[in-house]
Each structure stands twice: as C-alpha cells, then as structure tokens.
Structure 1
Amino acid sequence: MIREEHLQDWRDAALSVETEVRKAVIGQDNVVRLINVALFARGHVLLEGDVGVGKTTVLRAFARAIGGDFERVEGTVDLMPNDLVYHTYVDADGKPRIEPGPLLRHGERLTTFFFNEINRARPQVQSLLLRAMAERTVSAFNREYSFPHMTVFADRNKVEKEETFELASAARDRFMFELRMETPRDKAVRRALVFDTAFHDVDALINQVTPGILDWQSLNSMAAAIQHSVSASEALERYVMDLWDASQNPAAFDVRIDGVDMKKLILAGASPRGMSALLRAARVVAWMAGRTHLVPDDVQAILPSTLGHRVFFTPVYEMRRAQIADTLVAQIIEKVATPR
C-alpha cells in the first residue's frame, strides 16, 4: 500500500520533471504542466501547433526526465499498419529479415510514443494506434506484446489538407487532452529563441535535462494511488454533472454564441470516457497542488483541453470548430454555477 509520504515524494518528483523540461523548452509553461498532468493521469495527448514550435523537443525532454524509451513515427500516406509492428529488409548476405517495428522494438521499456502528423496516416494505421492506446497491447507473430508504461502523443498537420485523413470522433475521444502548442508571444522569449544560440542545438538542450527522475515502472501504480487519494464533495460532483449536461445541451444553461443557433449546434456532447478522463486529470491537478480534495479550479484548469475536442457539432457548424469550440467551453465555465 502506498503511504502519504510516498505520494509526497512523487509530487516532488513530478514538479522536478517540469523544472527539468523547462531547461529545454521556454514559453510553453501551460503545455508542460498539462503534459505532466496527463502522464500522472495515464492519458494520451493530441498536440496541435505550427511547424517548428518545439513539439518533438518537449516530448524528448519529458522522455529523458521520466526515463524509459522514446520512439517517434512519421505519418505518411503510404504508411501501413504492419509498418508499426515490423519491417522487412534484405541483409548483406541477400537473405530476407524481419525486425520488430517501432511499437515492438523497445518492449516494455517504451514510455513515450510520438506519432508525428497522424492525419497523414491512413485510417487503418490510426485504428491500430487506437488499439495500442486503449489496451497498450498489440498482437503480432502469434503472440501479444504489451507496453504498459506507454503514453501516446500525436500531432496533427493543420496546414496541408492534401493526402490527409482527418481523425474520426472516436479517435479524438481516445486522447485525454488536445493541446495547442503555439508560437510564444512574449517578446523576450521570442528573442531568446531566435538569438540565443543555446536554443539552436536541440541535442544539447535535451542533454541538460536530468535523466530518470522518476521510477517509470511504478508510474501506473502511483497514478492509481493518486486517484484514490483525492476525493470529491457532493457539491463538486453535482458541478461536474452539470458541466456534462451543458456539453450536451448548452442552451439549457443559457450558453449563447453570436451567430450560432444553440439548439442546432450540438451533435453529441462529451462521452462517459471523456468525463472520466476529466476527473482523472482534475485529481492530478489537485494532488500537484498538495490537496486531497477537489475544488472547482482543478476542474476548470483542464476543462478546455479535455472538453473542447469531445463536443461534436452538426455539419453546418463543424467547419467553424476552431472559432466555436473555445468560446463554447468558456461560456460553459461562465454559465454553469460554481459551488462555493
């Protein structure tokens, strides 16, 4: 049984992970915190951002800090499901060989799996990744391979639309968070990224991160202990249920968006899986703050990243998702009564 002092030690380690990652990444404090929350809530993350904002760098920094192995796959239109499991080649003697692919080559040491430009990969490839995310297993060579410590991160190419396959709603729902990693706006940060040569050598930046801060093999059991250690009051439970209702029927909570017919906006609200992910993440936020009970701020801190991609709009509004989703979540937070 994990005692309180162990939780405190892990809390200190979790905060140390963020400190170390910030040695390699600047101007992305909120993204760093939410990735850390996802790790301890054992959830997967979908990243969005322009080219060159440091998505790979931040994930490599996390992988070094938490320990275990890192793997990256590039999404391409010709990528096939089997390419994730094995690859074939002809050796120097002219004999055919089969080697484990990126999902299998690290075995149970795989902790961080980054699928870059996932919407360039065909739906069949996305489906295989979904199973790996949900079950953390893959069947191959007449046996089942397990990677129980793996967290999947995926990035979507938002700029190019040719030869891309948009993620289905079920695929997006598998991700605990959808995070926007934008170009920093702070002038000092922008200047440092351009003129400070320390940020021009990614490998040197990653080497500044202290390796293996966590016992990554104990992360699952520690995550379960965190969930058991943080409680929710009846008032907080009612608040979360109201948020769920508002995602399905925002008009009932007087949520209004200019130019939108609220009665025709929602095709489907958040799923039970989504609300479960929200509570898991909120408990981690509370734990990181040193509390053993949830407060509304814990829920609101992760609501935009948890809820925005799980509310599905009718076709007439889906094309305007980027403009509507953020406003909808902000309105839900404002209109749903917060317990005191």
Structure 2
Amino acid sequence: MSEATASAVAMAQEKLSEFSQRVQSIRESLHQVVVGQDASIDQLLVCALTGSHALLVGVPGLAKTLMVKTLASAFGWNFSRIQFTPDLMPADVTGYELLGRGEENGGPSMVFRRGPIFANLVLADEINRAAPKTQSALLEAMAEHHVSVGGQTYPLPAPFLVVATQNPIEQEGTYPLPEAQLDRFMMEIRFGYPSPEQEEAIVLRTTSGRVELPTAALSQEEFLELCDLVLSVPVPRTVASYAVRLCGSSRPEDERAHTMVRDYVAWGAGPRGSQNLVLAAKATALLDGRTAPTEEDVKSVALPILRHRVILNHRAIGDSVTAEQVIRSMLKDA
C-alpha cells in the first residue's frame, strides 16, 4: 500500500469514527426520552442524515410526536408543529401577505408573514385530516425547499425536514395522501406497541415527573457536515444495480416484474424509490460502522421505503394481500 493510499484510508477511518461518535450521542439522547422503538429511531435518523422526509404511522400514544420533538432538540433545530385539520388553509402552512408599513419610506405595502413551514423540522400532525388543497401546500416545500406566495419565492432554512404522522385506525373524515405526495417521503415508518417491560418503563418514567428534552448535541453546521459525509460514501455498481432491479420488479408492466406484482399491484415504485434505497443504504452502512453499503443494507431499508410506493389493485384488496407481503416476496426472490 502506497503512502498516499494509507493516508486516505486513515483519513476515512477517522471520519467514520467521528461520524459514529456523533450519531451515537444523538441515539443516546433519543433513548433518554423515548423508550424502545429502536428500529423507528434508526429509520428516522436515516431520513434526517439523508435530508429526506418521513411519514410516521401508528395509533395514538406511541410517542411519535415526542420522538420528533426529541430529535429536533438533540440536533438543536428550530421546531414547528402544524396540527392538520379539515379547516386548515394553505396560508396557515406557508404564510401570507398582508398590508403593512414598508421599511423604506414607511408607506403602506404588502408584507409577508412567514408560516410555520419556516423551521428546520416541521411536524405535520395527522396530515391526512386536512383537505387536498392544504396537503398540496407542502409539495413545493418538500421538493424544492422553498415556498411561493404572491409571486415571490422564499427559501426555507437548511437543514429542512418534514415529518408527517397518520393514525391508521380512524379513517372517517380523512383525505388519503395522493401518490405524488407519498413519493416525497423517503420512508413510511410504522410504530408498534411496546413490550410489557417497555410499557412499564414508560409508565414509571412519565408519571414520576416532567420529561426533559435533551440539549443540542450538534450544531447545524456539524449536522450538515454529517449529511455531506453520507453523500460522499461510494456506492458499488452492484448495489446500485440491485436497488434499480428491486424497484423494477415492483412495476407490473415491467419485464422484471415479480409474479405477485403482476397479479396484485397497480403501480410500482418510480426512480425516486431507487434513489432512496441507495441513499438509505449509505446511511445504514455508516450507522453500522462501515464505509460502503451492501445489498443487505438495501434489503434492510426496502420495506419502509417501498411499502407506500407499491399501490395495490382491487384484486389484492379482494384477496386480502398487503403491500408488505408483496415486498417481502420480492426481496425473497431478488
């Protein structure tokens, strides 16, 4: 090994060690407040480290909101919560213009009042309770990281992350998210009930005093450096090909389509699914202390990334087949 190569390897190991230490401190901060939900925490960290949005699905009382608030506190981010309701208007999300006193000559002029979307971490609570017109107000922000109001474009702060929640039980009075908006979320993270031991720990912790959120473990500049490190991770061609092949097998009209996909799927994952598989595999490898992702890393993140992108047909509904069953079959045969 040449001296230059040895130096590059040593530098990569140093960066990896620093990355692991910083992320571990964030993990510990989250576990100080949230009991259990280890897989959900890691998946949310993957979304954060790749600058991607997340959709949290779970019944009330499973600490979804608390986890998001804790993440914002641990990163030292500006946090904003929007409670989505049927009467919420787009201006309540993005902001609005009103007649005010101008800064230059003191005369009347239109002044923009920023909405709650102008934060580093935005919690869109029960997003499917708002009308489609209001849901769509998030599309531009999630895709372009800016909003347009009154013919003007206003950039959002960096980092910028939207975490939305949905209750899978109550569907009356809700508006399902359209496929175009679902595709903006990297992962659909599902929360399960805690074990008896974890539930006992939750009860004791939450009934013995106030829950204190952690102090910031990273500055925003340090966090953006971690994101840049994730992007700089090299991806083996075989891993990228596997991610593309996996998404291709989810499309019923594709020659690579899986047998269950041809029978039960109306629409499969698009190119953004392949991109997210590779990005998440990179972050997963770094979280595991490795410098390059593998096909196993892609498999480990495939379920939360693909299950909201695989749209079932009527036959699947009639045969009680779920998207998760289709994806697991795809992974088994891939």
Q: Which category of TM-score, normalised to the shorter sequence, fits these structures?
A: 0.7 to 0.9
* CA pair 80-169 structure 1, distance change in 2 beyond 3 A: same
CA RMSD of aligned residues (A): 2.7
1:48-59 equivalences in 2 (<5 Å): 48-59=57-68
In the TM superposition, 1:83-102 aligns within 5 A as: 83-86=92-95, 99-102=113-116
**After the TM superposition, which residues 161-240 of structure 1 pair with which residues of structure 2 at under 5 Å, given as runs?**
161-184=171-194, 186-194=195-203, 196=204, 198-200=205-207, 204-207=210-213, 209=214, 211-234=215-238, 236-240=239-243
TM-score (normalizing by structure 1): 0.83
Amino acid at match of 1:63: A
Q: Is the 8 A contact 2:142 2:184 kept in 1?
A: yes
Deviation of the 1:160 alpha carbon: 2.2
Per-residue deviation, 1:251? 9.4
| Distance verdict in 2 for CA 1:253–1:172, change over 3 Å | closer
Whole-Å separation in 1 of the counterparts to 2:192 and 2:295: 27
| Match for residue 103 of structure 1 among 117, 131, 135 | 117
Offset at 1:224?
A: 2.9
- Unpaired runs of 5+ in structure 2? 1-10, 99-110
Partner of 1:144: 154
Give the aligned partner of residue 292 of structure 1. 291
Q: CA deviation digits over 1:223-245, x for unaligned, max 9?
A: 233222232143x3332232122
Partners of 1:172 and 1:309 within 8 A in 2: yes
Partner residue, 2:332: 334
The answer on 1:247 being equivalent to 2:219 is no
Q: How does 1:267-306 map to 2 (within 5 A)?
A: 267-306=266-305
Distance 1:267 1:86, change over 3 A: same
Does the CA contact (< 8 Å) of 1:149 and 1:217 recur in 2? no
Structure 1 contact 61–206 (Cα < 8 Å) conserved: no
Please list the CA deviations of residues 59-107 of structure 1 after superposition, one character each: whole Å capped at 9, or x if unmatched: 1111110112111010100000001133799xxxxxxx98432123xxx
Q: Percent identity?
A: 27
1:237-264 superposed Cα distances (whole Å, 9 cap, x missing partner): 33223212221249967655xxxxx533
Amino acid at match of 2:114: P
* SS of aligned partner of 1:22: helix
Structure-2 separation of matches of 1:201 and 1:132: 40
Alpha-carbon distance in structure 2 between the residues aligned to 1:133 and 1:206: 30
Secondary structure of residue in 1 paired with 2:136:
helix
Instruction: Report deviation, 1:294.
Output: 1.6
Q: Which runs of 4+ in 1 moved over 6 A?
A: none
Give the TM-score taking structure 2 as reference length: 0.84
Aligned counterpart for 2:38 among listed residues 29, 41, 60: 29
Selected match of 1:70 from 75, 79, 83:
79
Displacement after TM superposition at 1:319 (Å): 7.6
- Change in Cα spacing, 1:326 to 1:309, as seen in structure 2 (3 Å) is same
Structure-2 change in CA distance of 1:320 and 1:40 (3 Å): farther
Shift, 1:205, TM fit:
2.4
Partners of 1:239 and 1:282 lie apart in 2 by: 11
**Letter of the aligned partner of 1:70 in structure 2?**
F
Stretch of structure 1 that moved more, 118-127 or 289-298: 289-298
Question: Which letter does structure 1 place at the counterpart of 2:17?
Answer: Q
Paired with 1:254 and 1:147, the residues of 2 have a C-alpha distance of 42
Letter in 2 for 1:206: E
